[in-house]
Amino acid sequence: MNGKVILVGAGPGDVGLLTLKGKAVLQQADVVVYDKLVGQGVLALIPPTARRIDVGKRASHHPIPQHQINQILLEEALAGNLVVRLKGGDPFLFGRGGEELELLVQHGIDFEIVPGVTSALSVPAYAGIPVTHRDCTSSLHIITGHTKTAPEAQIDFASLVKLKGTLVFLMGVSAMESICTGLLAGGMSPDMPAAVLERGTTAHQRRVVSTVQNLVHDAQAANIKTPAIIVVGKVCALAEQFHWAEERPLGGVRIVVTRPRELASTLTEKLRALGAEVVELPSIQTAAIENNAALAFALTNLGRYGWITFTSPSGVRIFFEELRARGQDIRSLAGLKIAAIGSATAHELEKRGLLVDLKPSAYNAGQLGAALGVAAKGTRILITRARVGSPDLTAALDAAGIPYDDVPLYDTLYTYEQADSVREQLACGEIDYVAFTSASTVRGFVGAIGDFDFSQVNAICIGEQTALEAQKHRIKTVIAQAATIDSMVALLTDLHRQK
Ligand code: SAH
């Protein structure tokens, strides 16, 4: 049976501007065919099971010609796949979406279209430019600086000027000079406000606000490159008053967050809410130990223990999956006291209806052991954690003379997806920070990036142990005051404010 092609607008870059429908279909995809302009954050939502085909193109270099892209879509759909064709902005606005559908229609392939947030509107918005305003303009015109037949814009400038509306030019960087001279020759006032907006909605967005007369000079002085849009009209003068994106606490900051593949990251959410651009690099993965005899013994003999401890959110998740697989539920834990290494782990337990009796004042294995050494006197402790866990926990219990069963739940595996683009961005100095929430995320990151001079990397670490691991690779580190996600976010905000 034939598959289907879904044309999806990926928005202008900021992952928050992908539509809910776009995200939902992306997560169902067997194959994703995408362009250069699709944001990193959106690419990170592609499921690991989906095959990725990069047909990236930027300005006038077209690595894969359009007819070949059309052919790829057709062949993948004929092979029965659900194909998501991800395109920057909106798929139909100068996006060749129509051309891609023609061949599919000829072959009777099913398709759907998920419109996207176009750069033509959102990039000005992120620069503080409302594209219409009743005091300035009552119409908006979106124009391409390139056409299929002519590399230079073929535009009737005199008619355009007469419309007196806001003009937005896409793909106009290389044609900027001819656009501005054309507008002046068409009768536009040389003082008409004009702006060029580069890489809008990303952490690296830049804007040059000038006049039609001076725009080329000012854009060259600022070394503006594609992708950028040109906006011409009185509304550009409002940018000074309305710009907001860079003013957010973490506006303009690009951060890599390494996290286990299965865990949604609260760190990512918090950073994005403060305006940071987050690139997620899922560099570790947890795999439950199969036929886990030690765990089976512990679960059938829960009465032996006075306490149970958890040392990571992944550990909590796997423990309860195993419990359920055995036909048991939280009632089996009645009577046991519960310890968690930190607030993220405690939160995972709370989600399952269990409140924590003990959480150490500093979130590390040594402190957890020391606290249990006092609280758990006279009982046996069930420790559930990674196969390779910190010796500090058991050493502290040994010192306190408290018996325990150290039951391994999972192995940490390192995954090496999506690292190429992060390596490239690190090499160009486009990543401000990498956030590490455990020593294993450091190992995963270093393994994923591979051979690299890590002394250029600035890291925010959740605690000492994590920082020590990072320093082994010459990564520059700063450590959060308290070992919590909130404390990492506060540190980043301070560092950025000082900049
Ligand atoms: N379909 C897309 C436009 C594709 S044409 C949309 O709806 O946005 C490609 C042009 O879009 C680029 O040359 C540039 O002019 C503009 N563009 C896309 N994303 C942009 C961004 N983040 N910042 C500035 N311009 C962008």
pLDDT per residue over 329-350, tens digit each?
999 999 999 999 988 899 999 9
In this predicted structure, the answer to whether residue 71 has a pLDDT above a threshold of 50 is: yes
Q: Is the pLDDT of residue 59 over 50?
A: no
Q: What CA–CA distance (Å, rounded) separates 96 from 66? A: 9
306 Cα–ligand 1 center, Å:
61
Compute the distance from residue 195 Cα to the ligand 1 centre, in Å: 15
- 260 pLDDT above the threshold of 70: yes
Residue whose CA is at the smallest distance from ligand 1 atom 25: 228
Cα of 137 vs centre of ligand 1, distance in Å, is: 23
Share above pLDDT 90 across residues of the chain, in percent, rounded to a whole number: 79
Q: Does 94 contact ligand 1 (Cβ within 6 A)?
A: yes
Question: In a 10 Å sphere around its CB, with 0-12 CB exposed, 13-18 middle and 19+ buried, how is residue 497 labelled?
Answer: exposed
Higher pLDDT, 465 or 153: 465
What pLDDT is stored for residue 363 in this prediction?
A: 80
Show the domains of the chain with their CATH numbers.
Answer: 4-117 (3.40.1010.10), 121-244 (3.30.950.10), 254-283+415-498 (3.40.50.10090), 286-413 (3.40.50.10090)
> 73-77, 211-215, 224-228, 441-445: which has the minimum mean pLDDT?
441-445
Q: Mind telling me the catalytic residues?
A: 35, 57, 171
pLDDT tens-digit map of 111-150: 999 999 999 999 999 999 999 999 889 899 999 987 656 6
Please tell me the distance from the alpha carbon of residue 303 to that of residue 291, in angstroms, as a whole number: 22
Residue 93 near ligand 1, beta carbon < 6 Å = yes
Cα distance between residue 477 and residue 235, in whole Å: 44
Residue of 119, 197, 204 best suited for mutating to test ligand 1, as the one with most atoms within 8 Å of CB: 119
Contact by Cβ (8 Å): 32, 86: yes
Q: What is the pLDDT of residue 154?
A: 74
Kindly indicate the confidence band of residue 61, based on its pLDDT and cuts at 50, 70 and 90: low
Mean pLDDT within 104-111: 96
Q: What tokens does 135 get?
A: 């005091």
Decide if pLDDT at 159 tops 80: yes
Q: Token match 């690991």: residue?
A: 48
Whether residue 119 has its Cβ less than 6 Å from ligand 1: yes
Residue 199 Cβ contacting ligand 1 at under 6 Å:
yes
List of residues 6+ apart from 119 with CB closer than 8 A: 12, 88, 89, 170, 200, 201, 227, 229
Indicate whether 60 pLDDT > 60. Answer: no
Task: Decide: 490 and 435 in contact? Cβ < 8 Å.
Answer: no
- Which pLDDT tens digit goes with each residue over 414-424? 877 678 889 99
pLDDT of residue 148: 59
State the pLDDT at residue 409.
Answer: 96
